[in-house]
Chain A
Amino acid sequence: MFLKVNNLKKYYSQDEHLIRDLNFSVKEGDIVSFIGESGSGKTTFLKCLAGLEKINSGSIELNGKVLDNQNTFVTPNERKIGFVFQDYPLFPHLTVLENIKINLEKRFLSKIEYILGLTNLQNLSNRYPDQLSGGEQQRACLARALVREPDLLLLDEPFSNLDSNIKLSIQEEIHKIVKETQTTTILVTHDIRDTFNISDKILIFKAGILQQYDNPVSMYCNPVNCYCAKILGDLNQVNINDKIFYLRPEKIMVTESSDFEGEVEKCLFAGKEYKISAKVNGETWTFFNDYAIEKNNKVYLNFNKKDLLEFDSTCSNFFTLNQ
C-alpha cells in the first residue's frame, strides 16, 4: 500500500480525543474521500499527514517511508505532500505564476508550462489572486501543489467555497488533473455528494472513529450502520413482521396494487422526475416517480426484498469506541 495509517491517535486533552485508533491504507493513484461532519477533526487529520500537527501515537507511512511515529518525525517540507487548503490561500502580493514558482526547486521549473496547461491557467498566470474567481483560485492552488510532484495530495474541503453551478465542472476538472498526474489524493469534505462520483474509495469518519471505508458502490449498497446509510442518501424505514429494515427511495416502485398502500403527503418536482412523500403504515416513505401524484391520493408501492438493508440491532446510529 502506498499510504498506511496505523493506530493514529490525536487529542488536545485526554478527555477530548479527536481521532481514535485510525487505521486505513490507500493504493497509489487512488482518490480517497474522507467524509465527516464540520468540526469532527478532518482538517486536523490532514494536518497530521502533512506534519503541520503532531500525532499523539500511531504511525504514518508514505511510499515506503515512515513519516511519523514514536521515534521519527519527518518535517513538513521533507514529506513530499501537497496541501490545498480550504480558503485557497494564494499569497496576495504574488501573481499566479509567482505563487506557483515560490520556493520551487529548479528541477520542477520545466513542469510549469505543463501544469498551467493542465489546470487551464495559461492566460491567467500574470493575474493577482484578487483578480481570479473562486474556481480559478482553487485551480491555482492545485497547480502550485501539483508542480512539486507530491507523493500525496491533500485537498481540504475543495468545493465548499464554490457556487453550485461551477462545482460540478470543478469536480470533473480535479478528477481529470489528479488522474492524469496519477497523484494519490485524499480529499476531506462534509458533503458526500461533492465526491461520490470522483472517489475510488470513501472513508466515513464520526466521533473520532472510522465508520466505514469502501468503494462508493459497496458503501451505498451495503452501509455498515445507520449513520453511514443515512449520510449516503435518504432512507425509508420498512416494518415487516415486527422487524425494521431500511430502503433507498429509488428502490421503491409505484404499482397497480400491493400490500403497501400509502397516502400522498407531498409531491415535489425534482427535474427529470417527481419526489413524492407518502404515509405508509404510519411511516413516511420517500420515492421517485415519472409523473406527479396529487396530495391525498392513494398509491401502491412495492420493492425487491433483496434491496432491503438490515442493521445489527445494537447499532442505533454509529460505531463508538466500545463497539
Chain B
Amino acid sequence: MEIKKKYYSNNRKLTLSTVLLSIIIILPILTLIVSTTSIDSSNFKYLWDNLLYDYSFNTVYLVAITSFFALLFGVVPAWFVSTFKFKGKNIYDFLLYLPLAIPVYIMAFTYSDILSFTGPIQSFTRKYFSNFSELLNQDYLQIEVLGIIMALALYPYIYTACRLSFSLIGSNYIELSKSLGMSKSKTFFKIVIPLSRVSIFSGLFLVVMEVLNEYGAVKYFGVNTFTSGIFRSWYSMQDVETASLLAVFLFFTVLIFFVLERFINSKYNYSYQSNTKNFKEEIPSTKNKFIIHFFCLVPIIFGFIVPILFISGNVVYEFERIEFVKVFNLSKNTILVSLIATFIIIAISVYFQFLRRIVKNKVLTIFNEAISLSYALPGAVIGLSLIILFSSTPFKSEILIGSFFVLIYAYVIRYMAVGISPLKSSFEKHPSSFDDTAVNLGMGPLKLFKSIHFPINKSAIAIAFLITFVDILKELPITLILRPFNFDTLAVQTYEYAIEEMIPKSSIYSLIIVMMGIILLIFLKKIVNNQIDVSKS
C-alpha cells in the first residue's frame, strides 16, 4: 500500500504545483472583480448614464470595421497565394506576414502624420495640384480611418491562420469539387471557407482582442473605447472605481468573445482528412493576374512598405538629433524585460504542457483553459487588477507597485496564453504511447522531458519564444501603467513623443521596435517553413 501511495502522491504534488501557478496568474483579475462588488452604486449609475453607451458603441464599431478589413486583407491574399502560381508569389507570402512586426500604435501615428496637413501627401498636392488639395484637407482622425489602419496592422493574424488551414485542406477536396463541376468561386465559398471557418475565426478572435487591448492608437485618434476610458478615468480623473467598473465591463465583453470563439470552434471544427499534398497551383489568366497582384499588393504596400519608408525617412531627417545613448538604454531595457518575461512564460508553459501529458488529470485541463483566457485580457485591465491586488490586504505593498517585479508579473499574465498556444498544439500532436513507451523503458519524468519531449518539441518552444518575445517587445498599455519610476521602454518613448506631436522624433524608437520584430519574424517564418517541409516530406 505504501508504494502505491507514494507513486500516486507524486502525481498529486505535480498537479498541485500547476494549480498554484495558475492561481498566481488568475489572482489579479479575481481581485479586480471582487473589488467592484463594494463600489458605491452611484458610480455605476454615472457610468451607465454617461459613458457606457459611448464606450460600447465605439468599441463595437471599431471592432466591426477592423474585422471587416482584416478579413479582406487576410483571407483573399491567402487564397491567391495558396492556389495560384505567379511571379513574386514567395515574396508576397513573406511580405504579407511582416506587418505583424509593426505595432498598431506605430501604424496609427505614422498614418496620422502621412495624412495630416503637413504630411507628404497634402504638401505634395498643395504644391502641384492646388485645386485638388482642398479635397484632401480633411480630419482623418476618425474612427473609420483608425479601423482601416488597425486592420492593416492586424490582418496577418488572419492571413497566417488561413495559409495554414488552406495547406491542411490540401488538394483532395479541391480536385473533388472540380470533378463535381463546381466553379472556382463556388469551391472557395462552399468548400474552402466552411472547412477553414474555425481557423479564420481564431485569427479574427486575435484581431478583436488586439483591438480591445489597444490604447496608444485609440488615444491618439481620440476614439473613446473601454480601454481609453479606463486610462482616462484613472489618470485624468483619478477615479479608480469607475476605471475598475470599466475594466470589469471590458473583461466581460472579452469573455463573451472568448465563449463565442470556443463555441464556434466546437460547433464547426469538422474532422476532415487533412491532406499533406499541396494545392495544385494554377497559372492565372491575365485578368486574374491583375486582381491577384492588386489584392496582395494593397496590404503589403499600405501595411508594410509605406510605414517602413516613412519611419525610415523620418529617422534620416532626424538623424543628427538622435540621442544614441538614450536609444541604446531604452533598447537595452526593452530587450531585458522582454527576455525575462519570455523566459518565465516559456518555462511555465512548457512545464504545464509536459505535466498535462504525464499526469492525466481534469484539474490540469481546467486550469490550462483558464490561463488561456489571459491573452484575451486587455493590458489596461491587467495593469489595473495588479494595482488593486497590491493595494489591498493581504498583498498590500507600496514597494511592489511600480516595481520591476510587478511589470514582469503583468507581462507573464498577459502573454502566458501566447506562449502556451504553439506548445499546446505541439505537445498534443505526439501520441500518448510515446509517454507510455518511455515509462515502460524505465524513464523518469526528468529523463522523459530531457530525452524525448524537449527534442521533439524544440521547434515549438522556439516558435513560442519568438512570438512571445515579439509581442512583449511591442507592448504599451501595461508598461505605461506599471513601469517602475525612471524606467522606459522603446514603446513608451514612441508613445510619449507621438502624443506630444513629435512623431519624427519618435521614429528611431519605432524603427528599432519594427526592425527587431522583422528580424525575429524572419527567424520564425524559417522555423515554421522547416516544420511544414518536414511534415510534407
Contact = CB atoms under 8 A, between A and B. Distances in A.
Interface string B478-514: 0000000000000000000000000000000000000
Interface in B4-24: 4, 7
Contact of A72 (B4, B441, B447, B452): B4
Interface stretch (B117-125, B185-193, B428-436): B428-436
Given A92-B456, A93-B455, A83 B442 contact: no
Interface in A52-81: 52, 70-78, 81
A75 B441 contact: no
A50 interface: yes
B422 to A, nearest CB: 18
A283 interface: no
A87 B436 CA distance: 12
B264 interface: no
Given A70-B1, A73-B4, A102 B451 contact: yes
Contacts of B266: none
B433 A103 contact: no
A75 B443 CA distance: 11
A130 B535 CA distance: 10
Contacts of B434: 89, 91
Given A70-B1, A73-B3, A92-B456, A148 B436 contact: no
B4 A103 contact: no
Contacts of B438: 103
A38 B331 CA distance: 60
B456 A83 contact: no
A91 B7 CA distance: 26
Interface string B417-461: 000000000000001011011111111100100011001100000
Report whether over half of chain A's contact residues are helix, strand or loop; otherwise say mixed.
loop
Contacts of B440: 50, 52, 76-77, 81-83
A254 B7 CA distance: 64
A89 B430 CA distance: 9
Contacts of A87: 431, 433
A25 interface: no
A86 interface: yes
A85 B437 contact: yes
A47 interface: yes
A93 B437 contact: no
Contacts of B441: 77, 102-103, 144, 148
A85 B442 contact: no
Contacts of A52: 436, 439-440
B286 interface: no
B437 A89 contact: yes
B533 to A, nearest CB: 13
B42 interface: no
Contacts of A77: 439-444
Contacts of A103: 438, 441-443, 447, 451
A144 B433 CA distance: 14
A83 B1 contact: no
Contacts of A74: 3
A47 B437 CA distance: 11
A72 B437 CA distance: 22
Nearest to B535: A130
Nearest to B436: A52
B433 A91 contact: no
A72 B452 CA distance: 29
Given A77-B443, A93-B455, A93-B456, A71 B436 contact: no
Contact of A75 (B7, B431, B451): B7
B456 A85 contact: no
B537 interface: yes
A86 B456 contact: no
A71 B443 CA distance: 24
A78 B6 CA distance: 15
Contacts of A78: 442
Interface in A249-295: none
A91 B452 contact: yes
Contacts of B3: 72-75
Nearest to A68: B4
A203 B443 CA distance: 31
Contacts of B437: 83, 85, 89
A47 B456 CA distance: 24
B190 to A, nearest CB: 35
A107 to B, nearest CB: 13
Contact of B436 (A47, A82, A92): A47
A142 to B, nearest CB: 12
A83 B433 CA distance: 10
A73 B155 CA distance: 55
Contacts of B433: 85-87, 89
Nearest to A73: B4
A76 B435 CA distance: 12
A76 B440 CA distance: 6
B311 to A, nearest CB: 42
A65 to B, nearest CB: 13
A73 B443 CA distance: 17
B448 to A, nearest CB: 9
A106 to B, nearest CB: 13
A78 B7 CA distance: 13
A82 B437 CA distance: 9
B82 to A, nearest CB: 25
B357 to A, nearest CB: 13
A164 to B, nearest CB: 22
A130 B533 CA distance: 13
Interface in A213-256: none
A288 B57 CA distance: 80
Nearest to B452: A91
A212 B180 CA distance: 52
A87 B7 CA distance: 27
Contacts of B1: 70-71
B413 to A, nearest CB: 33
Of the listed residues B441, B452, B537, the one surrounded by the most CB atoms of chain A closer than 10 A to its CB is: B441
A103 B442 CA distance: 7
Contacts of B455: 93
B235 to A, nearest CB: 52
For the complex of A and B, 7 pairs with smallest distance between CB atoms: A77-B442, A85-B433, A73-B4, A89-B433, A83-B440, A93-B455, A76-B439
Interface of B: 1, 3-4, 7, 431, 433-434, 436-444, 447, 451-452, 455-456, 537
16 contacts: A52-B440, A71-B1, A76-B440, A77-B440, A85-B433, A86-B433, A89-B433, A89-B434, A91-B456, A93-B455, A93-B456, A102-B441, A102-B443, A102-B451, A103-B441, A103-B447
Interface of A: 47, 50, 52, 70-78, 81-83, 85-87, 89, 91-93, 102-103, 130, 144, 148
Given A89-B433, A93-B455, A103-B441, 5 more contacts: A50-B440, A85-B437, A103-B438, A103-B442, A130-B537
